[in-house]
Amino acid sequence: MFNIYKYCQYQEDLLLFLFQNNPQICPYGLYAEQLSGSAFTAPRSYNVRTWFYRIRPAVCHKPFSRIDQGNMSNDFSSTVPDPAQTRWKPFDFPKKGEEIDFVNGLATICGAGDPKSRHGIAIHVYSCNISMTNKAFYNSDGDFLIVPQEGSLYIKTEMGKIVVNPNEICVIPMGIRFNVSVSGNTRGYILEVFDAHFELPSLGPIGANGLANPRDFEYPTACYEDLDINGYKVISKYQGAFFEALQDHSPFDVVAWHGNYAPYKYDLSKFMVINSVAFDHADPSIFTVLTCQSVKPGVAIADFVIFPPRWGVADHTFRPPYYHRNCMSEFMGLILGKYEAKEGGFLPGGASLHSMMTPHGPDSECFNKASTEDLKPVRVADGTMSFMFESSLSMAITDWGAKICEKVDDEYYKCWQGIEKKFNPNWRDETNGESGPPTKKRR
């Protein structure tokens, strides 16, 4: 993905023995197993796979049986379409007395497409308060991009351990088994893509450096456990449903691995921001961290975009996000702080969805303030981190997202009702036509 071929090892001499991927006899009595994240014949720049050297091959489990999947769904055809601007108040933590782990705390808000055809996305939230015990989970349908909002995630994967804190993200590619431990109430967002894997966006005329730099993505080092446990549960998300298989040992028994298909984390504070330094508001695509591209050039199945702390210096410009109608769907979440365009009702742990071609933009308070303030250089979004999952697909809200969660803000539309008509046909005579960049005069 990032043209990184990373070697992780239990002991240096293990991989020194392996001048080939699949020897007749592996050192230390291990089994060789390949995990393919792309077709064998995919172009080399897109070809991803990893070789495991593990205590037991992953196939050592009993038959799968279907289990309850709670509020997680990939069925987006059963709900009635609704183009309205939608905002959710912060999603609840588990109720007092409830014990819910990461898998049981998954709930789907919206999405589009179908994992059977390997095309589409889903947006979930998770809310949990206990660790997964003797349980592993993997996604057969696509990649997870996990955005913690409250509480840290202590993730154990087949490749090793990752700690993900709020203001960091983690990507767990399709098929990789993982377990999540938490300490108390924990909440966050997940973007799931069915089509392909996440990658860095092309930089074009920006050049070789900028935005999210490859050097800042962190991968785990092999860390194995040799545990015999009767009734260990391995849960597979397959075609949108959950299936469970039992085995008598921990699946996190990889002693060494090498390859370019692995989970990774990224600290959002390391994003190198690009912004307008003259006039006008640049499009939010300049804040893209990762993208999952469609077959159409430049059109994303999903982009992960952030709005980090930065300087605002544009002259003669309405600096907050502009009023907008979009051929893309925009789902936003707030990790911490206050979002500049709506400082009131958009809260950490909540979300909003502005569907395809549905108008949206700053509320009346933001517009009035930004239209009259002194345009000197100012810091924007200090102490804040908001993000957007943007997609070329038209997303449907699930029953859980529309009704069951009971978090829809029915008064969201009111934030635009105070916008006044300001049209003045005598404007030119009253102002001498003074508008536009100060270096130019209107004629």
Q: Is 197 a catalytic residue?
A: no
79: nearest Cα among 355, 440, 359, 430: 355
- 324 annotated to bind ligand: yes
Q: Per DSSP, what are the bridge partners of residue 172?
A: 144
- Which tokens go with 55? 């205590």
Contact by Cβ (8 Å): 115, 76? no
In 225-270, beta strands by DSSP E: 228-238, 241-249, 254-259, 264-267
> DSSP label at 438?
T
CA atoms within 13 A on the CB side of 70: 18
Q: 10 Å Cβ neighbour count for 163?
A: 13
CA distance 441 to 434: 7
- 339 annotated to bind ligand: yes
Vertex 416 angle, CA 411 and 419, to 5°: 145
> DSSP label at 111?
E
- 316 annotated to bind ligand: no
| Helix, coil or strand: residue 44 | helix
CA distance 111 to 121: 5
> DSSP label at 28?
G
User: Catalytic: which of 61, 119, 281, 354?
Assistant: 281
| Helix, coil or strand: residue 394 | coil
Contact by Cβ (8 Å): 274, 281? no
CA distance 345 to 415: 9
CA distance 65 to 262: 27
- 33 annotated to bind ligand: no
φ and ψ of 64, to 5 deg:
-75, 145
What sign does the CA torsion over 158, 163, 166, 169 have? negative
What is the arrangement of strands in the sheet containing 351-354, beginning at the earlier edge strand? 86-88, 351-354, 329-336, 385-391, 300-307, 288-293
Binding site listing for Fe cation: 324, 330, 360
Binding site listing for homogentisate: 339, 360
Q: Which residues are catalytic?
A: 281
